[in-house]
Structure 1
Amino acid sequence: RSNLFPPTTMTQSTSKPMHPDDAKEPLLMENKQRFVLFPIKHPQVWEMYKKAEASFWTAEEIDLAHDQNDWNNMTADERHFVSHVLAFFAASDGIVNENLVERFASEVQIPEARCFYGFQIAMENIHSETYSLLIDQYIKDPTEKAMLFNAIETVPCVTKKANWAVRWISESKCFAERLIAFAVVEGIFFSGSFCSIFWLKKRGLM
């Protein structure tokens, strides 16, 4: 049993060497209790997980029956704008998930945070499914639809955002810097685009 937690200079579940600045990061310190959830040692993190859990929903709960009429009544510029926002969302949730799976969920050693990351991964999957369903529902032209589904390669502004985010997944910077980078992805890249969704909501559309 003594070999279960061998000494290592790496984080416990990833092959990437630990950055020197991460050696004293509490979230990343070796935790032999990381496989057991109770007793809860980080109640604030656990509370955030439970709040996220309580907000669970699925794509099947959304009724798109009346959306097509709203879509058809938009101007061409409005449809172009909204479709490109959806294209950004559809691609970007997959990038967020790749970072969670490849880096954060394996690096962070406290089980409460791992619970949150695990649930976030599930919700990002649902978000990505939903955005893809919306594109599939609204866009009838096969060529345009293919372009939007491949926005990382076909839409320059999405390409730039995606490249910036993906760079931070493989980046050798310390955990704190990478955490801030993905806070930018979620808090700036996504928030700006979410404003357009609320703009539609304020107009009583879709």
Structure 2
Amino acid sequence: MSVVEKSDSTSIEPLLNPENFRYTLKPINPTYESLWKLYKKQQDSYWKAEEISFKDDYYDFIKLKPEEQHFIKMVLAFFSSSDGIVNFNLRDRFLREIQVPEAQTAYGFQLFIEGIHSEVYSDMLINIIKDSDERNTLFNAIKEIEPVKKMADWAIKWIHSEESFAQRLIAFAIVEGVFFSGAFAAIFWLKKVHKETKLFMEGLIKSNRFIARDEGLHVGFACAMYKFIVNRVDKNTVYNMFKEAVDIAYEFSRDAIAVDMIGMNLGMMHEYIKYVADRLLVMLGYEKLYFTVNPFDFMQTIGLDSKDNFFENRPDAYQSAYTGENIDWTFEISEDF
């Protein structure tokens, strides 16, 4: 039997209520049809690690300045572990707790997709880092590199937390929405700096675009799940979670990936992280905390009420045909990328 939160029957979340469990997936429960539609959007965006070619990335990498190489190493080190942390939470907590099959199915697919992300980041590290000792250090970044460890520790504490499912749901929306956003933006910034090289680190850039979009879908799904939460987390608690996360993400940008060393304005990165945090807060049904604007014209995020289709704005769309309505959270990458 799946794990259910310790609470009296009047406070059990519908998503966690054993009465909502069933072994059959269809017919879809109309109450949770929105979750099912978001699952199908994830499914239509399926791609494989083998679709990413890293054949020229190493040669581009060795031509970079040392600080640019350091930046790429840290980003890949963080991402290669972070997807595993997300998967651990899905496997050991969320999928054991959630009773609604529509949500279980979506999280099962996310588990699968996060595995692809981890595979791709690991392949990239293996491809560009030839020294085995250095590579092992990077693969163990959540233990070996303090700024990466700090971010990982924040995520891991929520896996083992005794707090409510609602609060932990927000925590992992923050991990995928706020923690990842700065690294995604920094990779696209590096591409912008090297715009004269049309196919600069093509494997890294292409996979980053695919993965950023996937994570947008995952964050959107988390926000959709939160709409079904009955016992919402109080605003002050949520704000404190976001403040912690924004500070940690900023430290990661400053100390680990050292964005200022690749010519990226650190203050603007901080503003961008706050902007993304505010946007996530609104999607979760809370008021903004920071009231900042997006400082990066190359990293445009579709507005909450936008009718633009993300797929139509992609330079090399990879998804299957889909005609459903848009999700709320996606990254729109300008055509230069």
One fold, TM greater than 0.5?
Answer: yes
- Counterpart residue number, 1:5: none
Question: SS at the partner of 1:36?
Answer: coil
Once the two structures are TM-superposed, the CA of residue 58 in structure 1 deviates from its matched residue by 1.2
2:156 to 155, 161, 166: 166
* Greater relative contact order (Cα < 8 A, sep 6+): 1
| Separation (CA, whole Å) in 1 of partners of 2:10 and 2:39 | 24
Identity %: 48
Give 3-state SS (helix, strand or coil) of 1:86's partner: helix
Instruction: Assess if the C-alpha contact under 8 Å between 1:59 and 1:130 holds in 2.
Output: yes
Q: Work out the CA distance in 1 between the residues paired with 2:148 and 2:8.
A: 33
The answer to whether the aligner puts 1:39 opposite 2:21 as a matched pair is no
Aligned residue in 2 for 1:4? none
Cα distance between partner residues in 1 of 2:18 and 2:122: 39
| Contact 2:141 2:149 (8 Å CA) reproduced | yes
From 163, 177, 186, the equivalent of 1:196 is 186
User: How many Å apart are 1:98 and its aligned residue?
Assistant: 0.6
2:18 aligns to what SS in structure 1?
A: coil
Q: Give, in angstroms, the shift of residue 32 of structure 1.
A: 5.2
> If each structure's helix is expressed as a fraction of its own residues, which one has the higher value?
1
Pair 169,19 (structure 1): closer, same or farther in 2 beyond 3 Å:
farther
Match of 1:28 among 16, 20, 30: 16
Q: Which whole-Å CA distance do the structure 1 matches of 2:158 and 2:113 have between them?
A: 21
Structure 2: segments with no counterpart, 5+ residues: 202-337
* Alignment equivalent of 2:91, drawn from 97, 101, 120: 101
Q: Which has the larger displacement, 189-198 or 48-57? A: 189-198
> What is the CA distance between 1:100 and its match in structure 2?
0.3
Give the structure 2 partner of residue 9 of structure 1: none
Q: Is the 2:15–2:100 Cα contact (8 Å) retained in structure 1?
A: yes
Query: What do residues 173-192 of structure 1 show as CA deviations (whole Å, max 9, x unaligned)?
Result: 01111111111111111111
Deviations 1:78-118 (A, max 9, x none): 01011101000001111100100111112111111111100
1:6-25 alignment to 2 at 5 Å?
12-14=1-3, 17-19=5-7, 23-25=11-13
Question: In structure 2, how many angstroms separate the alpha carbons of the residues matched to 1:17 and 1:40?
Answer: 25
Q: How far apart are the structure 2 equivalents of 1:183 and 1:22?
A: 26
Q: Note the aligned Cα RMSD (angstroms).
A: 1.8
The alpha-carbon deviation at position 22 of structure 1 amounts to 8.6
CA contact (8 A) 1:92 1:162 kept: yes
- CA distance in 1: counterparts of 2:165 and 2:188, whole angstroms: 33
Q: Kindly state the Cα deviation for residue 200 of structure 1 after the two structures are TM-superposed.
A: 3.5
Indicate the larger mover: 17-26 or 164-173.
Answer: 17-26
Q: TM-score, normalised by structure 2?
A: 0.55
Q: Structure 1 stretches (4+) deviating beyond 6 angstroms?
A: none
Q: Which moved more, 1:20-29 or 1:113-122?
A: 20-29
Which amino acid counterpart does residue 174 of structure 2 have in structure 1?
V
In structure 2, what is the equivalent of residue 179 of structure 1? 169
How far the C-alpha of 1:64 sits from its partner, in A, is 1.1
Matching residue of 1:74: 64
Distance 1:140 1:198 in 2: 24
Q: Provide the rounded CA distance (Å) in 1 between the counterparts of 2:73 and 2:143.
A: 16
Q: How many residues align?
A: 194
Per-residue deviation, residues 7-27 of structure 1 (Å, max 9, x unmatched):
xxxxx412x752569933121
Q: Counterpart of 1:73 in 2: which secondary structure?
A: coil
